[in-house]
Chain A
Amino acid sequence: MAGQGAVDRGPAAVGAARRRSLPAFLDARLDVLLLIVMTLIVIIVIGRLNPAWFAIGTLQTAASQNAPLAIVAVAMTFSIISGNIDLSPGSMIALTGVIVGLVFEGTGNLGVGICAGFAFSIAVGLVHAQLVARLGINAIIVTLAAYVWARGLAIGLTGANAIDINTPFVTLMNTFSLAGISLPVAMAIVAYLLGWFLLNRTTMGRYTFAMGGDLRAAERAGINIPRQTMLIFGFMGAMIAVGTVITISQVAGAQPLEQQGFELDAIIAVIVGGSTLTGGQGSVLQTLAGVIFITALNSGLGNLGLPDANYSFIKGAIILLALALQAGARRLAARRLRARHATQGGARDVRAVGVP
């Protein structure tokens, strides 16, 4: 029942709940089902090409390595459902890492460093929210600027050198595992549970959908838009900080050039999961399906021993193919929905279905 809340709580999704027959359910989930099938195909094909990849150890490594992506994708889901977007996470993870590293160097205490990192990252999120909600500047612009300045500041503060962080905590993060689940993966699981709860069981989630559906209507309905925007961007800041802690542990240090292109993976994961950039739709569980797809691609293609050039070429081509197939699936579903409406004599609204 992935993402059921998304449909139920989407503004004006009246009537959706009434049509619960199996074909209708399949139609509504066609794009996600397709994504799951494509993920399986990717895994099987790469497994055939490289049997050594097909191991439980690979799965554990891939999951740990992509845990920051999975965690930031939760917050990105909120951002995109609310009609915003965030292009800053890759640069912000690098900068937050540098701040953690500098405070750690100054105080000798990683705990203080991590607290400083959280405070900084959340503060940046709140400033972004102010610019978006109070000044009315589009989130793309605000976060695009952060994409530039945060990376620049990370490079500037360190002179482009890495800061070594090697403490028992880092060792613990890298080695501890319970029943095959490493700490980063455990954090990702908690992030998804938290994200699901916030989105489907709290007013924050309900208002997030309302903002994405129709911002003006949400405002007129009495929702405090600046406050909700601060919650959404602050949540992003917190998730970025968690991603930073994991990233720092994995490389045992803060690297200013860390995680380039990260935000793009996160956005693509959310979108192939079925959220739309126009806002108002999406679900955390569907995002998880998108993250698994991207993780399979990253890990599978990375382990094939391809030269970098072929890697990005093939990854991009597979993502394009996946997107095109999904768009086709959505059209098909829309056409069937239209047919069903027509037979029920309720053909209202459906003329524009499937029109991009």
Chain B
Amino acid sequence: MRVPSRLRASLPMEAERDAVAPRTANRIGSGLQRLGILLLAGLLFAIFSATSSDFSSQANIDNILIQISVLAVVSIGETVVMLLRGIDLSVGSVVLLSSVVMSALSVNHHVPLVLAIGAALILSLLIGCINGVLTAFIGIEPIIVTLATLMVVQGLDEVILSQNGSWIQVLDPFFTSLYVNQVLFLPVMAVITFVLYAVAAILMQNTPFGRNVYAVGGNARAARLAGINVMTVKMAAYAIAGLCAGIAGLLETAQVGTISQNIASGLEFSAVTAVLVGGLSLTGGAGSVLNTLIGATIFGMINNYLTLKDFSIYYKQAVSGFLILIAVILINVGRFGHMREER
């Protein structure tokens, strides 16, 4: 009784949208949008540099690049999932899981580093696959599935941590070098981030998988009728999100050095915010990983500036929340004008 009513309600709308919003319009819109987001990032950079003498120093820019690397890498997977009109709220706990598993194995159980890293990544991928199975094949709402996996993985993190003395210090030279060293005048972590974004951009723009993600996100029913295996695409997207969170966990380990329970708390919301500030459309099919990188940079610049300005730590969260809201309003007002013409 309930499903046909939903079907009848949604079908004409989807058909209509496909009719009025052909691909080219989307493409022009997204080009304009990237320009808008870049302008916003440039504007913020100009304002911050003008009001804080330290902000645009080489050392601080390196600092920002290192600070955003974890968020940026997590946001790659979040973008892919959100392009499919899904969401992954478990990524923060998976980041912690990856660093906890890696450090517990290598520091406390003396497993070779390569194996420990491999185990952490495989486990993260596995969590992503569980999310994928539950959303794509069993058909539960993504926000709810990933909330529940958030709880489960958080519990797992705490169990492992409590069995290893509640915090683990990682002194391995490999991780120290990730944090300290530079390649071509850029911090290693920033290079890793950029390489991952390059890979993701190629994956999304030049491969069948990427095209399928956009097709399914735009209209899942049409994509299925066109012969795309919708479930596999969704499954792969959540697996990618898990893997990205796993990689981010290793970067986080390099960054903080000491693994404890709160190092990645709230990261899932930051990732969703970075994707949204990057202008991804929640109604599907529009957005890109490069926009997300800009979104994550905006997020990182705001936080860095508030720290530089010695903002009361108590108000920092409030101000960054308001600034994010303003950024999202600016970006959406631009898109709203574009949408209005379509009506």
Contact = CB atoms under 8 A, between A and B. Distances in A.
Q: Do A and B bind each other?
A: yes
Contacts of B147: 264, 267-268
A313 B7 contact: no
B286 interface: no
A36 B24 CA distance: 50
A151 B16 CA distance: 40
A320 B148 contact: yes
Contacts of B282: 138, 140-141
A316 B148 contact: yes
Given A28-B2, A316-B149, A356 B135 contact: yes
A148 B321 contact: yes
A354 B4 CA distance: 9
B333 interface: yes
Given A142-B325, A152-B317, A12 B339 contact: no
Contact of B134 (A7, A324, A349, A355): A324
A150 B324 CA distance: 13
Contacts of B2: 7, 10, 13, 28, 281
Nearest to A145: B325
Nearest to A308: B158
B141 interface: yes
B159 A309 contact: yes
A308 B159 CA distance: 9
For the complex of A and B, 4 pairs with smallest distance between CB atoms: A313-B155, A149-B321, A316-B151, A356-B139
Given A146-B321, A327-B138, A328-B138, A156 B9 contact: no
B262 interface: no
Interface of A: 7, 10-13, 16, 19, 24, 27-28, 85, 131, 135-138, 140-142, 144-153, 155-156, 159-160, 213-214, 216-217, 264, 267-268, 271, 276-278, 280-281, 307-317, 319-320, 323-324, 326-328, 330-331, 334, 337, 349-350, 352-356
Given A277-B141, A312-B151, A135 B1 contact: no
Contacts of A148: 269, 273, 317-318, 320-321, 324
Contact of A316 (B12, B155, B221): B155
A307 to B, nearest CB: 7
A313 B329 CA distance: 37
A89 to B, nearest CB: 14
B121 interface: no
A311 B155 contact: yes
Contacts of B95: none
Contact of B13 (A144, A214, A314): A214
A77 to B, nearest CB: 15
B43 interface: no
Contacts of A147: 269, 321
State which size class the interface on B falls in. 35 or more
B155 A312 contact: yes
A136 B339 contact: yes
Contact of A152 (B8, B134, B321): B321
A149 B339 CA distance: 28
A144 B4 contact: no
Contacts of B339: 136
Contact of B9 (A12, A131, A137): A12
B64 interface: no
Contacts of A327: 138-140
Given A10-B2, A312-B151, 8 more contacts: A7-B2, A13-B5, A145-B328, A155-B314, A217-B13, A309-B158, A316-B153, A352-B3
Given A316-B151, A356-B135, A137 B329 contact: yes
Contacts of A10: 2, 5
Interface in B134-181: 134-136, 138-141, 143-145, 147-159, 162
Contact of B143 (A150, A277, A331): A277
A310 B321 CA distance: 32
Interface in B21-72: none
Nearest to A319: B148
B155 A309 contact: yes
B206 interface: no
A103 B319 CA distance: 22
